[in-house]
Amino acid sequence: MKQFILALSSSFLIANCSNYVEVQTRPNYVQPTWYTKCKNIDTESEGWKFWQSKKYFYSCGSGKSGFESAASAKALQLAKRNLADRINGYISSATTTILKDEGDAETLNSFTSSEMTIVNKIDSTRLEHYAETDKYSYKFGNDFYAFVMIKISKENAEAARHESSISLNPNSK
């Protein structure tokens, strides 16, 4: 009976220990290979027939915080932001050049200055059907680092772009 109770308590301890994962602590800053080579567009098979494949858009993000959940949330938000930029982002640029001459013919001083303004605007984009494909986090020093890769199907990305253009121009169809 004593052996039975000992065996039962040991199995209970082992079963409870298997429900936890120790957060990895690293001696240096690293990035996962899939993050450094984050794919943009890829095709995934959804069956054994080649025509059962689907095109996906991918995006990656990383985050750093003293709290693991905050690092993960930052990574996910940046990945979603990058994906929304690819779906609905646009960029505008303006360059201003100022040429100024001061003085007379003998003491003429010419000045030139330039200013370039680049604006990257992302319209509100609903990313309802994205999925996380890879995730990695670790602790280095006093901070947690998190990396995430998300994907969205081409059809859902096009629907998000279309929905955004309708909400911006309610009269267009």
Structural domain contains residue 141: yes
Mapped onto helix, strand or coil, the DSSP state of residue 66 is coil
Report if residue 13 sits inside a domain. Answer: no
* Domain assignment present for 111: no
* Tokens representing residue 19 in the block: 């429900």
Question: CA-CA distance, 28 to 81, in Å (whole number)?
Answer: 27
Number of domains present in the structure of the chain: 1
Q: Please give the pLDDT value at position 30.
A: 96
| Alpha-carbon gap, residue 169 to 142, rounded angstroms | 48
Question: What whole-number distance in Å separates Cα of residue 107 and Cα of residue 117?
Answer: 33
Type of residue found at 2: K
Residue 148 within any structural domain of the chain:
yes
Please indicate, yes or no, if residue 1 is contained in any of the structural domains: no
Say if 44 falls within a structural domain.
Answer: yes
> 157 lies in which domain range?
26-88+125-168
Q: Which of the two residues, 10 and 22, has the higher pLDDT score? A: 22
Residue 116 counted as domain residue: no
7 vs 32, more confident: 32
Strand-pairing partners, residue 117, are 94
More confident residue, 5 or 155: 155
Task: Read off the pLDDT of residues 77-131 as tens digits, 9 standing for 90 and up.
Answer: 999 998 898 888 888 888 888 888 888 878 888 888 898 898 888 888 888 889 9
Q: Is residue 31 in a domain?
A: yes
